Structure 1
Amino acid sequence: MTNPFDYRGVLAPYMKALIRIKESWGLTVISTRWTYKEFDEYTIQYGLTEPVITKDLIGSWAKSRENDCVRTFYGKCCRLSELARYMNEHGVKSYIMPLPKCTNDRGFTPYIFTKEQMQAIFQESDRLQRESHRKDDPIMSVPCLIRLLYSTGLRITEALSLRNKDVDLDRNILKVGTWGSTKNGEDRLVPICNSLKENLLRYLHYRSMLPILGITDGYHPFFIKLNGTALSSANAYRWFKKIYTKCGIAYKGEHFGPRVHDLRHTMATHSLAKMVREGLDIYAALPLLAACLGHKSLLSTEEYVRLTCNEYPELLEQCSSLNDFIYPEKYGSE
């Protein structure tokens, strides 16, 4: 069985040791695991050969995180600062970054793509052409990955952690979180609609033509580059930005997006609007959406009521009873 947290960079021994300490204290380490996995991949790409965290390394890494929201970026900085302190305590002089400013306000508004924008993104992704002859080109997987993120609302880490055995096209379900990829550490089943199934089958058809040993094995990564290795979050961020820019959608700047994660917000908003339009009581719709998104409680899902009403004002009256309960000040003053 492939371990997604088998770090391979020169900082791997320190990452693994710090995680073991946290686990021995009974702490939840899933976020730390994913931050270190991402940083481990970056150190390899950066070409780090000495097991030391330098100011230049941190500065370069920070510039690569333009798709992270403020709170996410702050959390990652905290975990890397912990790693640097641990290394210093063990005789490896490493740079401890000053933590960025972070507000506890979760009231940021994600970028919600319109139906027309999503259609344009799909069409543009289908027109992608290779820009080089690199064997690690992820271009073949990108169109299908974007469709899966929009259709299911998976987080990018959840989607990229899928193995072949997690994609059950006989029962039309995805098994998410088998490898500890979910935010809360719990696995779940996510349904596959017919149009997504068609795209997954088409992707598998062309993927099977690659001369990669073990490409169909159950534990092999589902989304791969042309050399058979798994896609990274950086691959997804870079190509998604390139696609929506070609569609005339402006990038608003660092930490403001649009981001890959906004596909999840867009799916939730579009799905909630569809259910309300079809007459489903919103009290019944929210638990369905929460289960699909993998939220442990309705508190996280309720924010999509506000987003949906912002995007579709005509639904405001249908949502008003729940809005008055959840957002009394916001909707009472408008």
Structure 2
Amino acid sequence: MAPHIRSFVESKTRKGIKGEDIKWTLYELDRYLAEKDHKSSYIDRISYDSWYHATCDNKQVSTIYQKVSIMRRFLLYMSSMGLECYVPRLPRKHKSEYVPYIFTENEIKSLFAAADNLREKEHHAKSLMMVIPVLLRTLYSTAIRIGEAINLRNQDIDFEGHTIVLDNTKNGRQRLAPLNESLKKALRQYIHYRNMLPVEGIMAPENPLFVNGLGHKLAKTSLGRYFRRLLQEANIPYRGHEEGPSLHNLRHTACVHSLIRMHRQGRDIYCCLPILSTFMGHVKVLDTEYYLRLTRNMYPEIIQMDVSVTAGLGILIAKSLVKVDNHGSI
């Protein structure tokens, strides 16, 4: 099976898909087939069922969906090459009941103010005081993921082209994030002071853009602690680890606020969704629906739009609010 696995992975790589999850799942498959002394150049249902029970039993629903989805794509690829394999149906996709916290515009301003006024009681070598204000603004302005922001390098900021180049993305595809004038100003100010750190290679193109006081790459755990401190300073209640608010909620908020701004500019909401999808870095427009959690203070504004614009919007809102239990019941 190794030649087919290699060619499948290479076909994804040529499309710009890094797909580490694809590589690991197929590596796991290859190891399993080798242990079973699999001799066939195809996979029948018995072989598939055996692999499924060996690797997917007692796993989370989301993990099972991911593994079966990758396996299904690989088997479809095999079949397209003339090797007729058993192709399984996809299991029911896991629907998270997590409802993201959407910050109000005033709360965003309060967070920025708290970050700007952040002070340390004593000298701390790994302090994030310098980077926190610009990091928050970057997350809210571009809607990039916190992991993508942490992985940014100096060479990824294109001030002339008004863009940020994202290589290490969740979908494994390179994309561009917009860089507006206010964010450019904040980034330039941050870079100016960051470059004063007595750290060798701090300005090297391949080195991290956002660093701590020692010039080291940021850690998510440290950022989480600082963010909870900012929430307290901004008088925004922290509801717990599972309920947030969290740094990732800035991405949800950026999406919803962008939708509201475009509506205020008189744009058709259905024309906005593909724009938002590109802005968020989603492969499909449907993926963007997850972020459109309309809070109570936004909902009255939306329903006042012209009827020709809002026709069918109720379905979209209902999808974002409906919860489904483990048995598929609403």
Match of 2:198 in 1: 211
In structure 1, the residue corresponding to 2:260 is in which secondary structure? helix
Equivalent of 2:243, from 241, 248, 256? 256
Q: Which amino acid aligns with 1:200?
A: L
1:137-179 Cα distance to aligned partner (Å, 9 max, x none): 2221111001100111111001000000011112110001x2x
Match of 1:146 in 2: 136
- Shifted more, 316-325 versus 281-290: the winner is 316-325
Q: Which amino acid aligns with 1:227?
A: L
1:136 aligns with 2:136: no
Equivalent of 2:223, from 227, 236, 240? 236
Structure 1 residue 312: deviation in Å? 3.9
Match of 2:157 in 1: 167
Say whether the 8 Å CA contact 1:154–1:293 is kept in structure 2: yes
Structure 1 residue 308: deviation in Å? 6.0
In structure 2, the residue corresponding to 1:116 is in which secondary structure? helix
In structure 1, the residue corresponding to 2:111 is in which secondary structure? helix
Q: Which amino acid aligns with 1:297?
A: K
1:195-225 Cα distance to aligned partner (Å, 9 max, x none): 1111001101111111111111110000001
Summarize the alignment of residues 57-206 of structure 1 with structure 2, pairs less than 5 Å apart.
104-176=94-166, 178=167, 181-206=168-193
In structure 2, the residue corresponding to 1:307 is in which secondary structure? coil
Say whether the 8 Å CA contact 2:152–2:210 is kept in structure 1: yes
> Which stretches in structure 2 are left out of the alignment for 5+ residues?
1-20, 31-59, 68-92, 323-330
Say whether the 8 Å CA contact 1:154–1:264 is kept in structure 2: yes
Structure 1 residue 251: deviation in Å? 0.6
Match of 1:283 in 2: 270
| Cα separation, 1, equivalents of 2:320 and 2:98 | 14
| Cα separation, 2, equivalents of 1:120 and 1:229 | 28
Match of 2:88 in 1: none
Q: Which amino acid aligns with 2:27?
A: S
In structure 2, the residue corresponding to 1:291 is in which secondary structure? helix
Distance verdict in 2 for CA 1:273–1:135, change over 3 Å? same
| Cα separation, 2, equivalents of 1:203 and 1:220 | 15
Structure 1 residue 244: deviation in Å? 1.4
Match of 1:311 in 2: 298
In structure 2, the residue corresponding to 1:174 is in which secondary structure? strand
Say whether the 8 Å CA contact 2:100–2:293 is kept in structure 1: no
1:88-118 Cα distance to aligned partner (Å, 9 max, x none): xxxxxxxxxxxxxxx9433432111111111
Structure 1 residue 307: deviation in Å? 2.0
| Cα separation, 2, equivalents of 1:275 and 1:142 | 28
In structure 2, the residue corresponding to 1:154 is in which secondary structure? coil
Say whether the 8 Å CA contact 1:122–1:143 is kept in structure 2: yes
Structure 1 residue 317: deviation in Å? 3.9
In structure 1, the residue corresponding to 2:294 is in which secondary structure? helix
| Cα separation, 2, equivalents of 1:118 and 1:251 | 15
Distance verdict in 2 for CA 1:284–1:225, change over 3 Å? same
Q: Which amino acid aligns with 1:293?
A: M
Structure 1 residue 292: deviation in Å? 1.1
Structure 1 residue 324: deviation in Å? 3.4
Distance verdict in 2 for CA 1:280–1:147, change over 3 Å? same
Structure 1 residue 237: deviation in Å? 1.1
**Matched-pair identity in %:** 36
Say whether the 8 Å CA contact 1:305–1:323 is kept in structure 2: no
1:35-54 Cα distance to aligned partner (Å, 9 max, x none): xxxxxxxxxxxxxxxxxxxx
Aligned length: 243
In structure 1, the residue corresponding to 2:176 is in which secondary structure? strand
Summarize the alignment of residues 25-44 of structure 1 with structure 2, pairs less than 5 Å apart.
none
Match of 2:4 in 1: none
Q: Which has the larger radius of gyration?
A: 2
| Cα separation, 2, equivalents of 1:164 and 1:232 | 17
Say whether the 8 Å CA contact 1:273–1:308 is kept in structure 2: no
Match of 1:222 in 2: 209
Distance verdict in 2 for CA 1:108–1:144, change over 3 Å? same
